[in-house]
């Protein structure tokens, strides 16, 4: 395992940072926060141009065939820049299932359009309880001729208003094992019977919606994977989604640390920079240490996913748990260090704080993943 970036990866990182500093300043972030859709088609087009929207797709689908570790490097920078919009939804939540479980036809239909920036996708899996587990998937899809008819409500669907297609996890069968009987449908978001209602959530950089489907007809050819066998596809995607969230968290955490350290050097109180007080120094030292160790676990998780190692599940759970705790703590400390100004709406610190909360809670929080790890020791 090699934790040091190679030359190409260093280039990707530098390029990503430059690109995002130019194309995704905080003014854009705040503009998107105010926006109900939260998606900037201009930014999206530019991302397609630099090849980010097909980064890990094979060349034949318009991709750049880079690996998963490369993707996390990019996402680290996106987390640092607090980039809004449907990248995570399109690339991870919907893109990975298509890439890994789609038929050749489906891949040809969707992947090139994603890569070219012509298609925004997302995933609707969570329901009333908001937790990612198979028992929660109760929304029903019933076969009728060549179609399936889907009715019910999905919660916490990210970027639904920006999406052209929504991958919907629905229940098509029941058995003692709740993992069986779940089927994934690519649903055209413009279909009759679809209602999308914004949810007022804390992290406004990552829009979420309530999705109501009222007798929506989906052709069976839009099923990703086999009927009733959708859950393992989502599980596989979730591993990658978690690792990417970890990368975003580490990237965001480093922004918070750097911003805090700079503030501590500049802000004068009692005639000296506040960074000369031990209470501030030690806070910064702890933030730094936490992020160092979070990074190690995040990079380990990314590497084992890339390599397809059997350690993947435990590595991802460890990284997700630790990064979530550290990111939340670092953002809290960052606000405290800034004092009053850090508590204002106008300062950017709270954007990171809120993202740390939504990222920790997505796909299982720290407690949940510690529980999963414990089960492996049983």
Partner 1 sequence: MTTEKSENLNALRREVRAWLRANLPKGWGTPEYKPPPSYSREQHEQGKEWTRKLYDAGYTGFGYPKEYGGIERPRDEIAVIRAELGRTGTPGGPLSLGMLVAAPAILAHANEEQKKRHIPKILSGEESWCEGFSEPDAGSDLANVQTTAKRDGDEWVVNGQKCWTSMWEFADWSLLVAKTDLEAPRHRNLTYFVFSTDTPGFSRRPLRQMSGEAEFGEIFFDDMRIPHENMIDAEGRGWYVAMTALMAERSGGGGFEGGGSALAGIGMEGLLDADSLVNLAKNTKRYGKSVWEDEAFRQKIVQIAIETQAMRWSGTRMAAKMRKGLPLGNEASVFKNFQAEMRQRRGNLTMEILGAYSQMVRGSSRAVDNGDWVYNMLRSLGATIEMGTSEINRNIIAERVLGLPR
Residues making contact with its own copies (CB under 8 A): 277-279, 282
**Between 149 and 157, CB nearer to partner 1:** 157
Cα–Cα–Cα angle for 231, 111, 182, nearest 5°?
Answer: 15
**Between 142 and 344, CB nearer to partner 1:** 344
Alpha-carbon span 362 to 378, nearest angstrom: 25
Distances (CA, A) of 136 to 157, 294, 331: 14, 30, 31
Interface of this chain with partner 1, residues 102 to 131, rule: CB under 8 A = 126, 129-131
**Cβ neighbours for 154, distance < 8 A, ≥ 6 positions apart:** 124, 125, 126, 127, 139, 168, 210, 211, 212, 213
Nearest distance in Å: CB 350, partner 1: 4
Nearest distance in Å: CB 374, partner 1: 4
**Between 142 and 276, CB nearer to its own copies:** 276
Residues touching partner 1, count (CB under 8 A): 83
User: Rounded to 5 degrees, what are φ and ψ at 7?
Assistant: -60, -45
User: Rounded to 5 degrees, what are φ and ψ at 188?
Assistant: -65, 120
**Ramachandran bin of 218, using left for φ above 0, alpha for ψ from -120 to 50, beta for the remaining angles:** beta
Distances (CA, A) of 71 to 55, 76, 80, 243, 250: 7, 9, 14, 10, 14
Choice from 179, 191, 286, 307 touching partner 1 (CB under 8 A): 286
Alpha-carbon span 45 to 333, nearest angstrom: 36
Is the separation of the CB atoms in 97 and 139 below 8 Å? no
User: Rounded to 5 degrees, what are φ and ψ at 166?
Assistant: -120, 120
Nearest distance in Å: CB 111, its own copies: 51
Nearest distance in Å: CB 265, partner 1: 7
Alpha-carbon span 108 to 50, nearest angstrom: 21
Asked if 155 touches partner 1 (CB under 8 A), the answer is yes
Of how many residues is the chain composed? Answer: 378
Interface of this chain with partner 1, residues 302 to 361, rule: CB under 8 A = 315, 318, 321-322, 328, 332, 335-336, 339-347, 349-350, 353, 357-358, 361
Interface of this chain with partner 1, residues 203 to 232, rule: CB under 8 A = 203, 208, 210
Asked if 14 touches partner 1 (CB under 8 A), the answer is no
Asked if 288 touches partner 1 (CB under 8 A), the answer is yes
Nearest distance in Å: CB 264, its own copies: 13
Per partner kind, with CB cut-offs from 5 to 8 A, the member of its own copies, partner 1, none near residue 109 is: none
Choice from 75, 157, 160, 261 touching partner 1 (CB under 8 A): 261
Choice from 25, 58, 135, 173 touching partner 1 (CB under 8 A): 135
From 34-42, 61-69, 196-204, 236-244, give the range in contact with partner 1 by CB under 8 A: 196-204
Nearest distance in Å: CB 332, its own copies: 17
Asked if 300 touches partner 1 (CB under 8 A), the answer is yes
Asked if 235 touches partner 1 (CB under 8 A), the answer is no
Nearest distance in Å: CB 281, its own copies: 9
Asked if 60 touches partner 1 (CB under 8 A), the answer is no
Side-chain-side CA neighbours of 4 within 13 Å: the count stands at 2
Asked if 297 touches partner 1 (CB under 8 A), the answer is yes
Tell me the DSSP string of 278-306: HHHHHHHHHHHHHHHHHHHHHHHHHHHHH
Nearest distance in Å: CB 56, partner 1: 23
Is the separation of the CB atoms in 237 and 189 below 8 Å? no
Per partner kind, with CB cut-offs from 5 to 8 A, the member of its own copies, partner 1, none near residue 332 is: partner 1
Nearest distance in Å: CB 339, its own copies: 16
Alpha-carbon span 189 to 209, nearest angstrom: 13
Asked if 263 touches partner 1 (CB under 8 A), the answer is no
């Amino acid at each position: 395992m090699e934790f040091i970036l190679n030359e190409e990866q260093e280039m990707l990182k530098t390029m990503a940072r430059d690109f995002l500093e130019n194309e995704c300043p905080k003014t854009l972030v705040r503009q998107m926060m105010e926006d109900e859709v939260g998606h900037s088609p201009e930014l999206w087009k530019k991302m397609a141009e630099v090849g980010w929207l097909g980064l890990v797709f094979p060349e034949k689908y318009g991709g750049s065939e880079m690996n998963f570790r490369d993707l996390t490097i990019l996402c680290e920078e996106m987390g640092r820049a607090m980039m809004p919009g449907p990248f995570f939804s399109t690339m991870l939540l919907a893109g990975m299932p298509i890439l890994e479980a789609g038929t050749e036809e489906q891949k040809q239909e969707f992947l090139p359009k994603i890569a070219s920036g012509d298609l925004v996708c997302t995933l609707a899996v969570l329901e009333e309880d908001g937790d990612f587990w198979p028992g929660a998937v109760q929304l029903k899809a019933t076969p009728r001729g060549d179609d399936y008819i889907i009715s019910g409500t999905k919660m916490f669907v990210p970027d639904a208003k920006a999406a052209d297609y929504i991958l919907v996890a629905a229940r098509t069968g029941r058995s003692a094992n709740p993992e069986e009987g779940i089927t994934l449908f690519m649903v055209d978001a413009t279909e009759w019977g679809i209602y999308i209602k914004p949810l007022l959530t804390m992290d406004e950089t990552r829009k979420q919606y309530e999705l109501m489907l009222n007798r929506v007809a989906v052709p069976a050819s839009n099923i990703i994977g086999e009927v009733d066998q959708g859950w393992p596809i989502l599980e596989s995607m979730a591993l990658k989604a978690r690792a990417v969230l970890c990368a975003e968290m580490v990237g965001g955490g480093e922004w918070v640390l750097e911003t805090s350290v700079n503030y501590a050097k500049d802000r004068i109180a009692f005639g000296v920079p506040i960074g000369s007080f031990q209470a501030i120094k030690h806070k910064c030292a702890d933030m730094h240490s936490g992020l160092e160790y979070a990074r190690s676990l995040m990079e380990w998780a990314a590497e084992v996913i890339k390599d397809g190692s059997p350690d993947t599940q435990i590595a991802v759970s460890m990284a997700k748990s630790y990064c979530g705790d550290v990111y939340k703590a670092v953002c809290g400390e960052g606000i405290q260090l800034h004092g009053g100004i850090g508590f204002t709406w106008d300062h950017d610190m709270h954007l990171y704080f809120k993202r740390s909360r939504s990222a920790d809670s997505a796909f299982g929080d720290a407690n949940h993943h510690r529980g999963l790890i414990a089960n492996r020791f049983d």
